[in-house]
Structure 1
């Protein structure tokens, strides 16, 4: 085996080993809050692999890098063919040849395979400054290569933006692929979809806990809208089954608690519950319908929908002072608030004149609203990625069938996330799963 491997801990042997630094130059390239963000040209040539017959591993790794990094919207992934034949060894790199082809960033690496194990080095270079920005070493089974690639993609995004990105996240959503509405899970890019609930009933409104270990959702498995709190890896959990409706769960950031809409008292109000489903206290106290809570990142405020002004509008409540503030005034039907992980915006669904439904965002400093979708069916249920760079949502723009789409936080690059039987709706984006 190659001599570059350094053992990093027996606890991760035969799985995915944590990377060790080769070199690190401090740079800050990408301002993810800039709506005029210029994509950085990056090239990912085939990764050098030994023995030479393992070319399929090299091709898959390079293709995965291109797909994952391109998915973020931060990078312009260049065709690798014009760069064929250029040396990728760190000691012999001729940076001028890479910049001549338009590349500003370059990913290189080595993969050594023996007995089903892969020893891996990946590097990120700034071709203009002729600097090594990141270098990491990993070890794992060959089947773990996709996870190793995602891990290094996270390192790249973290180095360039200060955020760990989305590669270790999942999306929960509702699908009718089995003939009934069930909760499904998929990876950040729509791949690896699998069924989470098997109630052969109606399941709605999935919500992730802030440690990504629990999902709360509403199910009609018992013939009424009960709230289920379920561990992501097993069947342990709780059921809130009070008279009336038990729905729209929203976990409190950093706590094993959640808000939900309950109507056992007659009105639909928002209550705070423990992670075991026990009542803590009532959060809204109004004769009107109050529903769909969404917490601020610090857990000190929550947005919600209320018809207390005569039509559904979005309000904010400070849990410390008790102050309630209406934040939407344009339009007569605004619902499904989703607070940005950066805390500066709230996305929501708004019904336009003529019945068209679109995704809007409101800036909480200026209180100005911006529309992100236009003339493309009904667009609903916005859900932010944990780094605040992307928004998932459901749309009927394809023949009236609801599908899951994503777009940037500024409404650009709208594209369908997956192709599955039935209809898909109610996306909920998880926090990062696992450690950096």
Structure 2
């Protein structure tokens, strides 16, 4: 079904839905819940530049290359080899009416992206389309207007359209990752784009800062720092110079924002043992959530905010429990092994990722929140810790010592396609994936 024309006004970038004379539809080509996912072959030829304009040609090539990279990063696609193309991307029709689809199915490409770039009036216009080569139909088309420097943003935006069209999920192209790095000589919190690019320093305490967590709207990061007299939680705005603190004595550790609310949970010790409390986004205590003999730490929330997984030593060693906010009861979730920590609840709600000591090393596992057998995702590659889900639940970021120093990696929700995201001076750890927070 054709969607109504839509215009999005962005800083230096405008996007519009392209008209299409036949019925274009959204299909669930890829079952992202399938652990044996078959990657879909997609062709992304170099986009056409009007009148062979050198400036437009450079932008066209950069945009198509960036889009191919982003689509590969998802783990859903394989990019068709340009050397196998039976069409010349610079002379072929890109609108659909003149595309010889059999030339694309012949090389195994089930999907095809075409694009055109025009430099006009000091700006650049982009036309991008996704075609199903088997059904010989356009799936989605967009026109963008901006500057030459917007080509990365255009690739990211259209990449999101492609992922949504074939999976029904908005993906993660509008997200960031916060993490800890000691490259400056101190453990500080940094930010980067979802793929490890555009690294920026967030804290400058010249101390130890750990355990960042994003608010649901992406405007705040809460974290633990030793910049004061002891470990305390800071709640800091991402772009403005606004900071809140928790006015309670004792240890403060590992904050976790409640989904959809300006509230967070954190482990505090002002009443004795470390217990988990619910706080306002300004650091005021609302109520106590856990109560036990032994410390309770590392909260993580279910997507609906009704349940909270956490780590407790109430059984004698660190295990993961689930607290129900309605009944007030906590039940043990993990039973295998004597060291299970760092739980992270999937945005889909169906799995909890965590770190566990296994055969003398730390690896990452997932488990159903209702219980059952855990699934091991990493093995025989150093220590692997601190899993954090992408906003669509398709990828997991984590830290690993598989190359010696601790670095940030990503893998699919099933443990495949494990790859390093970035390499910086020092070591990196404690990754935390943001929600999709960039402007649509």
Does TM, scored on the shorter chain, surpass 0.5?
A: yes
Q: How far apart are residue 18 of structure 1 and its match?
A: 3.3
1:63 aligns with 2:65: yes
2:46 is matched with 46
2:17 is matched with 20
**Does structure 1 retain, via aligned residues, the 8 Å contact 2:102–2:133?**
yes
Query: Hey, what's the Cα distance between the residues in 1 that align with 2:165 and 2:125?
Result: 23
Query: Hey, what's the Cα distance between the residues in 1 that align with 2:421 and 2:28?
Result: 29
- Aligned residue among 411, 414, 434 for 1:430: 434
- Aligned residue among 346, 361, 369 for 2:366: 361
Query: Hey, what's the Cα distance between the residues in 2 that align with 1:22 and 1:314?
Result: 52
What TM-score, normalized to structure 1? 0.95
Structure 2 unaligned blocks of 5 or more: none
2:212 is matched with 206
2:250 counterpart SS class: coil
Q: How far apart are residue 366 of structure 1 and its match?
A: 5.2
- Aligned residue among 338, 346, 360 for 2:344: 338
2:78 is matched with 76
Q: How does 1:320-331 map to 2 (within 5 A)?
A: 320-331=326-337
**Does structure 2 retain, via aligned residues, the 8 Å contact 1:207–1:215?**
yes
Query: Hey, what's the Cα distance between the residues in 2 that align with 1:238 and 1:60?
Result: 42
**Does structure 1 retain, via aligned residues, the 8 Å contact 2:6–2:17?**
no
Query: Hey, what's the Cα distance between the residues in 2 that align with 1:419 and 1:201?
Result: 22
Query: Hey, what's the Cα distance between the residues in 2 that align with 1:21 and 1:92?
Result: 17
Query: Hey, what's the Cα distance between the residues in 1 that align with 2:179 and 2:14?
Result: 31
Q: Which runs of 4+ in 1 moved over 4 A?
A: none
**Does structure 2 retain, via aligned residues, the 8 Å contact 1:22–1:137?**
no
Q: How far apart are residue 435 of structure 1 and its match?
A: 5.1
What TM-score, normalized to structure 2? 0.94
- Aligned residue among 81, 103, 109 for 1:103: 109
Query: Hey, what's the Cα distance between the residues in 2 that align with 1:116 and 1:402?
Result: 45
Q: How far apart are residue 239 of structure 1 and its match?
A: 1.4
1:377 aligns with 2:382: yes
**Does structure 2 retain, via aligned residues, the 8 Å contact 1:51–1:113?**
no
1:194-227 deviation digits (Å, cap 9, x = unpaired): 1011111100000000111110001111231110
**Does structure 2 retain, via aligned residues, the 8 Å contact 1:50–1:111?**
yes
1:269-305 deviation digits (Å, cap 9, x = unpaired): 0000000111101011112100000000000000000
Q: How does 1:254-269 map to 2 (within 5 A)?
A: 254-269=260-275
1:239 is matched with 245
Query: Hey, what's the Cα distance between the residues in 2 that align with 1:198 and 1:251?
Result: 22
Q: How far apart are residue 51 of structure 1 and its match?
A: 4.4
2:412 is matched with 408
Query: Hey, what's the Cα distance between the residues in 2 that align with 1:424 and 1:223?
Result: 24
Query: Hey, what's the Cα distance between the residues in 1 that align with 2:133 and 2:6?
Result: 30
Which shows bigger deviation, 237-246 or 369-378?
A: 237-246
Q: How far apart are residue 85 of structure 1 and its match?
A: 1.3
Structure 1 unaligned blocks of 5 or more: 1-5
Cα distance, 1:88–1:247 mapped onto 2, change above 3 Å: farther
1:187 is matched with 193
**Does structure 2 retain, via aligned residues, the 8 Å contact 1:68–1:153?**
yes
Q: How far apart are residue 367 of structure 1 and its match?
A: 1.8
Aligned length: 427
Please, what is the CA RMSD of the aligned residues?
1.5
Query: Hey, what's the Cα distance between the residues in 1 that align with 2:26 and 2:398?
Result: 35
Query: Hey, what's the Cα distance between the residues in 2 that align with 1:98 and 1:241?
Result: 63
1:230 is matched with 236
Q: How does 1:304-323 map to 2 (within 5 A)?
A: 304-323=310-329
Query: Hey, what's the Cα distance between the residues in 2 that align with 1:323 and 1:207?
Result: 25
2:88 is matched with 85
- Aligned residue among 116, 131, 143 for 2:149: 143
**Does structure 1 retain, via aligned residues, the 8 Å contact 2:123–2:148?**
yes
**Does structure 2 retain, via aligned residues, the 8 Å contact 1:41–1:103?**
yes
